[in-house]
C-alpha cells in the first residue's frame, strides 16, 4: 500500500484497513480489531506513552496489509507481519511507534527463552506462530536482543499483546485513537 499524502490520510488508511479486514481472526478467538483495541487498552490503562499505545493498537497491522490469509500459519507460512507492518508505519510514525511493532515477535521469542512457562501460557495460535517465527531464541540471540534500544518497549508491547485476547471485552472504540494517531503522525511529518 503506498504512503498516503498527509497524516490525516495515513490515519484514514489505517481506519480503512481495520474496517475492511478487522473482522479477520488469524487463529485467535477475537477479531484483529478487538485484539488491537484490547492491546491498546491495556497499554493505555498502564499509563504508557501515546507512542506505545499507538504501537499496541497497530502491532498487527501487517496482517491487514499482506494478503496471506487468516490460515497462513496453518499452511506453514510465517507472514512476517511484524516487518511488513513496521515498514509501512515507519513512513508516518517515529521509531517509538514502529520499532516496538517490528520487535514484538522477537520479544515473544525472547520471553519464550527468558521466562520459564511463558511459551506454555501462549494461546494455541501464538504458540503455532512462535514455531514458524524461529522458536525460542538461543542464548546468543537473547543476549543481543537485550541490547536493542527498544527492548523494553517491545517487551511491554508483547505483554499487552498477550493480554488482548479476551472474548467479549468491553473497550473503547477505534475512533478513540484517531486524534492521537494523527498527532503522532503529524510530529513525524
d(CA 107, CA 90): 19
Note the pTM of the prediction, 2 decimals: 0.92
* Mean pLDDT of all residues belonging to the chain: 91
Span 82-116, pLDDT tens digits: 999 999 999 999 999 999 999 999 999 999 999 99
Q: In a 3-state reduction of DSSP, which class is residue 88? A: helix
Closest CA to 178 of 188, 186, 170, 166: 186
Closest CA to 158 of 189, 113, 188: 113
Task: Name the band, by pLDDT with cuts 50, 70 and 90, for residue 174.
Answer: very high
HEC readout, 117-170: CCHHHCCHHHHHHHHHCCCCCCHHHHHHHCCCCCHHHHHHHHHHHHHCCCCCCC
End-to-end CA distance of the chain: 18
Closest CA to 40 of 55, 57, 15: 57
d(CA 82, CA 168): 26
| 49 or 123, greater pLDDT | 49
- Assigned CATH class of 7-188: mainly alpha
Q: What percent of the chain has pLDDT over 70?
A: 90
What does the domain layout of the chain look like in residue ranges? 7-188
Strand residue runs (E) in 39-141: none
pLDDT score, position 60:
93
Amino acid at each position: 500500500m503506498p504512503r498516503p499524502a498527509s497524516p490525516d490520510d495515513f490515519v484514514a488508511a489505517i481506519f480503512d484497513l481495520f474496517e475492511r479486514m478487522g473482522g479477520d481472526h488469524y487463529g485467535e478467538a477475537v477479531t484483529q480489531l478487538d485484539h488491537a483495541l484490547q492491546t491498546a487498552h491495556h497499554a493505555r490503562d498502564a499509563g504508557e506513552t501515546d507512542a506505545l499505545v499507538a504501537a499496541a493498537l497497530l502491532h498487527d497491522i501487517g496482517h491487514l496489509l499482506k494478503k496471506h490469509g487468516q490460515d497462513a500459519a496453518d499452511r506453514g507460512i510465517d507472514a512476517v507481519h511484524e516487518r511488513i507492518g513496521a515498514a509501512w508505519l515507519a513512513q508516518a510514525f517515529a521509531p517509538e511507534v514502529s520499532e516496538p511493532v517490528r520487535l514484538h515477535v522477537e520479544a515473544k521469542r525472547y520471553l519464550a527463552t527468558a521466562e520459564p512457562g511463558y511459551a506454555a501460557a501462549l494461546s494455541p495460535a501464538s504458540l503455532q506462530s512462535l514455531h514458524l517465527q524461529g522458536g525460542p531464541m538461543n542464548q546468543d540471540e537473547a543476549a543481543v536482543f537485550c541490547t536493542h534500544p527498544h527492548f523494553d518497549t517491545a517487551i511491554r508491547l508483547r505483554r499487552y499483546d498477550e493480554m488482548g485476547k479476551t472474548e467479549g471485552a468491553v473497550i473503547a472504540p477505534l475512533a478513540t485513537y484517531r486524534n492521537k494517531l494523527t498527532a503522532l503522525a503529524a510530529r513525524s511529518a
